[in-house]
């Protein structure tokens, strides 16, 4: 065991070791592997072999795919995303090439989506997301894009959403909230109004003021947080929160 409590083993072929340990652990605990973490490769094609082995060796799909590596080619990332059937969470801490474009639409109908960085995520990707939690870093979405997204949500899109935060890329213009809220009916809340929002990790934090909007099909309320002094981040929460608390409490 190392200082973090991880069991380290050493094999001439890492994939052989992974398959032996994986099969043994599944046998002992009588359950499939639910999370796949792909860190930096040691040998070429390690990632593809790992994903291929996991998908072929168990009945259930993996719940959480987490990638934290520097891809050698964009095709490496495409292959992993197309091969791995994740069902609940996708966490991509991967920087593809500046001109990267998906060759196939991702499965964005999961519980949590995290992209660090997300400069390659375009408006059509965002409108397809139906996660409860969405985090985008280094985004190149425009204020006009966010306006389209809000109208999409108000008309019933991204129906499961509870929380989204978009950190803008440093090359982008500051968020223009006049553009973001253009054509949208909203209620300005005084900054003295404090509301507690419980996130997906059951941690409460205070929402001060902000702008309330409503979804037309069921009257559900969302709050665009007040970022008047921080125009590189868009932040929206949807009520009731993850603990069931209403925006009125």
Burial of 232: CB neighbours in 10 Å, binned 0-12, 13-18, 19+: middle
Q: How far is CA 210 from CA 50, 121, 161, 222, in A?
A: 45, 26, 18, 10
Supply the pLDDT for residue 43: 74
Instruction: Please give the average pLDDT of every successive group of 10 residues along the chain, which has 249 residues.
Output: 70 77 81 86 79 83 90 86 90 93 86 96 95 97 97 96 96 94 95 92 92 94 86 95 83
Supply the pLDDT for residue 122: 94
Supply the pLDDT for residue 107: 87
Supply the pLDDT for residue 149: 98
Query: DSSP state, 36?
Result: E
Query: What is the spatial distance between Cα 249 and Cα 247, in angstroms, rounded to a whole number?
Result: 6
| Residue reference for tokens 């989204």 | 164
Supply the pLDDT for residue 221: 96
**Peptide linkage before 240 cis (omega within 30 of 0):** yes
Q: Are 237 and 203 in contact (CB under 8 A)?
A: no
Q: Taking the mean position of all CA atoms in its chain, how far away is CA 108?
A: 9
Pairing verdict, β 187-198 and 62-67: unpaired
**In terms of DSSP H, where are the helices of 90-165?**
123-128, 143-154
Supply the pLDDT for residue 249: 57
Tokens of 25: 């652990």
Task: Please choose, from the candidates 166, 61, 162, the residue with its C-alpha nearest in 3D space to the C-alpha of residue 112.
Answer: 162
């Amino acid at each position: 065991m190392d200082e973090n409590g991880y069991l380290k083993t050493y094999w001439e072929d890492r994939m052989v070791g992974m398959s032996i340990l994986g099969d043994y652990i599944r046998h002992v605990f009588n359950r499939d592997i639910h999370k796949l973490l792909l860190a930096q490769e040691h040998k070429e094609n390690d990632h593809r072999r790992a994903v291929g082995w996991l998908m072929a060796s168990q009945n259930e799909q993996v719940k959480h795919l987490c990638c934290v590596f520097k891809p050698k080619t964009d095709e490496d990332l495409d292959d992993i995303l197309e091969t791995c059937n994740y069902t609940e969470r996708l966490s991509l801490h991967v920087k593809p090439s500046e001109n990267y474009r998906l060759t196939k639409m991702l499965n964005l109908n999961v519980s949590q989506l995290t992209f660090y960085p997300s400069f390659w995520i375009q408006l059509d990707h965002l409108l397809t997301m139906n996660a409860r939690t969405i985090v985008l870093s280094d985004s190149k979405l425009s204020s006009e894009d966010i306006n389209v997204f809000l109208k999409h949500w108000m008309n019933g899109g991204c129906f499961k959403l509870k929380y989204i935060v978009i950190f803008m890329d440093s090359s982008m213009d500051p968020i223009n909230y006049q553009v973001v809220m253009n054509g949208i009916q909203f209620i300005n809340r005084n900054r003295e109004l404090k509301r507690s929002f419980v996130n997906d990790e059951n941690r409460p934090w205070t929402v001060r003021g902000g702008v309330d909007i409503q979804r037309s099909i069921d009257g559900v309320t969302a709050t665009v947080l007040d970022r008047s002094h921080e125009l590189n981040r868009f932040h929206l929460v949807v009520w009731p929160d993850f603990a069931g608390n209403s925006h009125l409490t």
